[in-house]
């Protein structure tokens, strides 16, 4: 078989393998859909074009000295989208990954990506029904389940959980996740919110605080039917941290015992430094090198717990692979945020396969807007297939017989089964 034929076969097998998307910010329609005010499910051309990645990029073309941040934020969503489309897609070539993603999405939806205004796209999206459109997007992206990010300390979302009840976790197309960064990044705020929910937790962990914190975690893991517990942690986070004994106790005496009892993973997303340019709002964060040794300490000291870890700094990726070689209770996943670009997905996927074989989950979409599933998975599948083709070619060169059955098994492990097996209770 020629190299070209091998590549064609791998591309097909990767394209045909359904993905379970383990981390997104996409919501089931029961949480309300844009443009309904307060709707958490974002979709359609105006949301696509005002994705916070593109907001950051348009301020490089039209700087705040020309269009002040506050003026931009006062513009309507449509006016913001028109501004971004003009400057990033019409007057300049949409070369960046976030720009190319919009072009790929429009193309896969059967729309002409060469429009000079958003008018025709708006008309097309206005004719779509949100829930049916979810099925269309999932089919185009070949995603069998979308994993939400359910932020328990977000008052707006928690109010929806209170009003929706079990309906909030009832859409089989979506899995739920308990997201609670503040337990480790803003403990006082977390205590205030838990107290308001009726959990007698004190900031100094006195009295029945630990029992109450465990009760809070158990209650919300059960209520949301969470498949894992997630936190995004800053580059300064350490475990153990002599400077933060309280944080160590929260991890050791509440978080990990509850997760071990429920046999649920802790997904740690490490290295995000929030609000470096606060005027950009969601677009104002950066990624900074974090501490992989803290991950190793947790995997070693809590062998009964499962850890899913993704790190934001390119510099942390090799170290994380090496630590994962030492701990089978660690699942490295995804090319997160500023790493979700073809050049870095390729570098990381090669590194991971060479150090860990097909025991990792190479990608998640992190989609914030439903339609993004189409481009994020189209682009990632292309890169993952390219790397696998090289690996299979190397093995064939050494005389190994590579069968379609083997390639299909590997594709299933990488795109779905490693993750699904890891979260199995």
Contact residue for ligand HDL among 77, 92, 368, 396 (CB under 6 A): 368
Contact residue for ligand HDL among 72, 337, 377, 392 (CB under 6 A): 337
Instruction: Tell me phi and psi for residue 386, to 5 degrees.
Output: -60, -45
- In whole angstroms, give the CA distance from residue 251 to residue 60: 40
Q: Give the residue from 277, 252, 254, 256 showing the smallest Cα distance to 265.
A: 256
Residues 271-290 that bind ligand HDL (CB under 6 A): 272, 282
Residue 368 binds: one of ligand HDL, Zn ion, none (C-beta under 5 to 8 A by kind): ligand HDL
Q: Which is nearer to Zn ion, 151 or 221 (CB)?
A: 151
Q: Which is nearer to ligand HDL, 212 or 265 (CB)?
A: 265
Q: Which is nearer to Zn ion, 46 or 366 (CB)?
A: 366
- Residue 313: CB partners within 8 Å, gap ≥ 6? 235, 271, 287, 288, 289, 290
Our finding on whether 21 is near Zn ion (CB under 5 A) is: no
Residue 232 binds: one of Zn ion, ligand HDL, none (C-beta under 5 to 8 A by kind): ligand HDL
Site string for ligand HDL, 255-274 (x = CB under 6 A): --------------x--x--
- What number of other Cβ atoms are within 10 A of residue 225's Cβ? 15
Q: How far is the CB of 185 from ligand HDL (least distance, A)?
A: 11
Q: Which is nearer to Zn ion, 149 or 209 (CB)?
A: 149
Q: How far is the CB of 232 from ligand HDL (least distance, A)?
A: 4
Stretch touching Zn ion by CB under 5 A, among 137-145, 327-335, 360-368, 394-402: 360-368
Q: How far is the CB of 224 from ligand HDL (least distance, A)?
A: 16
Scan for tokens 């950009």, then name that residue: 280
Stretch (H or E) spanning 246: helix 245-249
Q: How far is the CB of 81 from Zn ion (least distance, A)?
A: 22
Q: Which is nearer to ligand HDL, 269 or 353 (CB)?
A: 269
Residue of this chain nearest to Zn ion (CB atom)? 366
Residue 337 binds: one of Zn ion, ligand HDL, none (C-beta under 5 to 8 A by kind): ligand HDL
Q: Give the residue from 218, 319, 323 showing the smallest Cα distance to 260.
A: 218
Residue 83 binds: one of ligand HDL, Zn ion, none (C-beta under 5 to 8 A by kind): none
Q: Which is nearer to ligand HDL, 234 or 257 (CB)?
A: 234
Q: Which is nearer to ligand HDL, 181 or 319 (CB)?
A: 181
- In whole angstroms, give the CA distance from residue 204 to residue 231: 21
Site string for ligand HDL, 35-64 (x = CB under 6 A): ------------------------------
- Residue 60: CB partners within 8 Å, gap ≥ 6? none
DSSP character for 333?
A: B
Helix (H, G, I), strand (E, B) or coil at 413: helix
Our finding on whether 333 is near ligand HDL (CB under 6 A) is: no
| Total number of residues that touch ligand HDL (CB under 6 A) | 8
Contact 95, 320 (CB under 8 A): no
* Cα separation values, 340 from 55, 274, 365, 376, Å: 17, 18, 8, 8
Scan for tokens 């090319």, then name that residue: 335
Per-residue burial over 73-110, b if 16 or more Cβ lie within 10 Å, else e, is eeeeeeebbbbbbbbbbeeeebebbbbbbbebbbebbe
Strands 266-270 and 307-311 turn out to be parallel
Question: Cα 150–154–158 angle (5° rounding)?
Answer: 70
Angle of helix 97-108 relative to helix 372-397, nearest 10 degrees, comes to: 100
DSSP character for 273?
A: E
To the nearest 10°, report the CA torsion of 128, 132, 133, 138. Answer: -170
Residues 195-234 that bind ligand HDL (CB under 6 A): 232
- In whole angstroms, give the CA distance from residue 383 to residue 378: 9
Residue 89 binds: one of ligand HDL, Zn ion, none (C-beta under 5 to 8 A by kind): none
Q: Which is nearer to ligand HDL, 108 or 368 (CB)?
A: 368
Q: How far is the CB of 52 from Zn ion (least distance, A)?
A: 11
DSSP helix, strand, coil percent of the chain (3-state; round to 5): 55, 10, 35
Q: How far is the CB of 51 from Zn ion (least distance, A)?
A: 12
Residues 361-420 that bind Zn ion (CB under 5 A): 366
Binding positions for ligand HDL, rule: CB under 6 A:
25, 232, 269, 272, 282, 337, 366, 368
Binding positions for Zn ion, rule: CB under 5 A:
366
């Amino acid at each position: 078989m020629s190299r070209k034929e091998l590549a064609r076969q791998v591309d097909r097998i990767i394209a045909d393998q359904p993905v379970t998307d383990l981390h997104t910010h996409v919501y089931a329609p029961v949480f309300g859909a844009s443009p309904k005010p307060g709707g958490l499910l974002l979709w359609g051309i105006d949301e696509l074009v005002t994705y916070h990645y593109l907001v950051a990029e348009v301020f490089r073309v039209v700087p705040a000295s020309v269009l002040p941040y506050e003026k931009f934020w006062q513009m309507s969503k449509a006016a913001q989208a028109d501004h971004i489309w003009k400057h990033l897609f019409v007057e300049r070539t949409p070369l960046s990954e976030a720009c190319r993603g919009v072009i790929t999405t429009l193309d896969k939806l059967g729309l002409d990506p060469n429009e000079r205004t958003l008018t025709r796209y708006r008309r097309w999206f206005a004719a779509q029904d949100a829930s049916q459109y979810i099925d269309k997007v999932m089919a185009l992206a070949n995603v069998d389940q979308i994993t939400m990010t359910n932020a328990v300390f977000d008052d707006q979302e928690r109010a929806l959980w209170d009003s929706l009840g079990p309906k909030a976790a009832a859409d089989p197309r979506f899995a739920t996740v308990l997201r609670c960064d503040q337990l480790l990044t803003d403990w006082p705020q977390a205590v205030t919110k838990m107290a308001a929910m009726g959990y007698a937790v004190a900031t100094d962990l006195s009295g029945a605080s630990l029992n109450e914190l465990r009760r809070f975690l158990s209650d919300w893991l059960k209520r949301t039917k969470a498949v894992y517990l997630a936190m995004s942690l800053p580059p300064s986070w350490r475990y153990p941290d002599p400077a933060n004994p309280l944080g160590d106790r929260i991890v050791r005496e509440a978080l990990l015992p509850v997760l071990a009892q429920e046999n649920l993973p802790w997904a740690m997303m490490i290295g995000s430094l929030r609000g470096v340019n606060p005027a950009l709002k969601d677009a104002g964060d950066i990624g900074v090198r974090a501490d992989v040794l803290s991950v190793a300490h947790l995997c070693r000291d809590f062998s009964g717990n499962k850890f899913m870890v993704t790190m934001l700094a390119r510099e942390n990726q090799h170290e994380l692979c090496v630590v994962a070689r030492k701990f089978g209770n660690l699942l490295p996943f995804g090319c997160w945020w500023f790493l979700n670009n073809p050049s870095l997905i390729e570098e990381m996927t090669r590194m991971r396969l060479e150090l860990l074989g097909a025991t990792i989950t190479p990608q998640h979409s992190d989609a914030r807007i439903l339609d993004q599933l189409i481009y994020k998975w189209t682009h990632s599948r292309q890169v993952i297939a390219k790397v696998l083709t090289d690996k299979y070619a190397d093995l064939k060169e050494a005389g190994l017989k590579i069968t379609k059955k083997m390639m299909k098994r590997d594709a299933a492990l990488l795109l779905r089964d490693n993750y699904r097996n890891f979260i199995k209770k």
